Chains A and B, each alone.
Chain A
Amino acid sequence: MTADAPKILDTSRDFTLRVGDFEGPFDLLLHLCRTNEIDLARLPVRTITDQYLAHLEAIEFRDLEAAGGYLVMAATLIYLKSKLLVPPDPSEIEALDEEGEALRLELEERLRAYARVKGLGAWLAAREAEQALLWGRPVGALPPLEEVPLEDLSVHLVERAVRRLIDEQLRRRPREVEPNPPSILERMTEILTLLRDAWSLLFSSLVGGERRRSEVVVTLLAVLELVRLGRIRTQQTELFGEIVIERQTGETHAGSN
């Protein structure tokens, strides 16, 4: 069957077509008709089915969903062809029964409709290229509030926008690289020094106003280390709440953590 493959396909790619080369079963079928100069008004079922199946084998599908439409088309074509098999018609004209003929007519009609759309797409592409040469005042990114047509908006657009916003937030990781990251030991000494004059400290006051991530991490590690060493104890009354740091008095730190 490969001998019948259209010549524009047989170079360089080892008969392997990406599914992306075609936009769907109609596109592939139309491509076969074009390369074979087939009249869309009279689809030769035998030839086109064989070629279609040969191409289908060559296509590498990314996923089942993409393959589905192609397989449905294959099934339709095979069904039509099966109606032709018995008895084999010696004449050129392929005779189908009533149902088969109706199916073929529908297939041809849809194929013609698709060909029409493809032509229009090409027309629009040419038009777009023409317009790309013209530069006008760019449309404002956001139309005035009173001009936003509500009917243009739908829930899934809002959802998309929110999802994108979240993604963006996630991507926005800290970028700063600090030349001298504060040392945990220094921070521990600092905390103990501060606690000499005060009964308690707030974690937030240690971190400083800028809340740099490295600062927070080092401070937290220093606090944890001091807790482990039994020099301080900490309290956090609620999740993500303020951490209160207190001096560990005496040796009774059994219950604290």
Chain B
Amino acid sequence: MPAPIDILEALLFASDTPLEPERIREVLELPGVAAARELVEALRSRYADRGLQIVEVGGGYRMVTRPELQPWLVRLTRSRTKQRLSRPALETLAIVAYKQPVSRPEVDAIRGVNSEAVLESLLERRLIRIPGRKDAPGRPYLFETTREFLVAFGLRDLGDLPKVEGELLVPELAVVAEHGEAEAQQDPGPGGADVPAGS
């Protein structure tokens, strides 16, 4: 009988979606979810100094590479497979994430522009989905974020989103915005510059 921790390791390795504690409990026939979480923690410490790590996203656990290894992975695949979202897409996504379920007219009102195309591309990337229609004139579609959204942004759940209730702190926001712009300017080759030269 292999050790449960080894089985868990195999499960995490093989799973292409985050593995919920409940699912781990079920597969390993553990007494409770707490035991499953404990087992994950034990495995985590095993991975303390390895190339892989275990992260908690989208309500489950996932095995991913360590961030500092990214340059070599880029070199391996010879391209950046991960395509970044555009600024309009990110802002639309933010609105959906905070106001979900939300209809397109509501999104449009906040952005001040037509969001149809952006919402459609987000739907296609499965970052949002349509849970139903709004009980309002025209019965517009509603949109909400998906688990893929949580995984893509490394969020355990929606509670991981920054709090924005009440008044907005403008100076702080300006800093964030500048940071975002700087980020965008680096975009053309984010991985390229970091690739170590001599290996």
Contact = CB atoms under 8 A, between A and B. Distances in A.
A118 B95 CA distance: 9
Contact of B111 (A26, A66, A73, A130): A26
Contacts of B154: 127, 130-131, 134
B84 A132 contact: yes
A188 B112 CA distance: 68
Interface string A122-142: 111111111111111111100
Interface string A106-130: 0000101111111111111111111
B130 interface: yes
A156 interface: yes
A124 B153 contact: yes
A-side interface mostly:
helix
Contacts of A124: 85, 90, 93-94, 97, 153
A157 B114 CA distance: 18
29 contacts: A23-B87, A23-B88, A24-B111, A24-B112, A39-B170, A40-B168, A65-B114, A69-B114, A115-B168, A115-B173, A117-B91, A118-B177, A120-B98, A121-B90, A124-B153, A125-B84, A127-B154, A128-B153, A129-B84, A129-B183, A131-B152, A131-B154, A132-B82, A135-B70, A137-B16, A138-B16, A154-B123, A160-B120, A160-B124
Interface stretch (B1-9, B28-36, B41-49, B58-66): B58-66
A60 B13 CA distance: 52
Contacts of A24: 111-113
A152 interface: yes
Given A120-B164, A128-B152, A139 B16 contact: yes
Contact of B130 (A23, A137, A151): A151
A167 B22 CA distance: 44
B65 A119 contact: no
B67 A152 contact: no
Contacts of B170: 39-40, 115
Between B55, B82, B173, B177, the greatest number of chain A beta carbons within 10 A of the residue's beta carbon is seen for B173
Given A139-B17, A157-B123, 6 more contacts: A27-B112, A112-B167, A120-B91, A121-B93, A124-B93, A156-B120
B63 A152 contact: no
Contacts, number: 157
Contacts of B162: 120, 123
A73 to B, nearest CB: 7
Interface extent on B, as a size class? 35 or more
B129 A121 contact: no
A123 B110 contact: no
B12 to A, nearest CB: 9
Contacts of B17: 139
A179 interface: no
Between B14, B176, B183, the greatest number of chain A beta carbons within 10 A of the residue's beta carbon is seen for B176
Given A121-B87, A121-B90, A136 B65 contact: yes
A117 B131 contact: no
Nearest to B53: A134
Nearest to A131: B154
Between A117, A130, A157, the greatest number of chain B beta carbons within 10 A of the residue's beta carbon is seen for A117
Given A73-B112, A157-B124, A128 B85 contact: yes
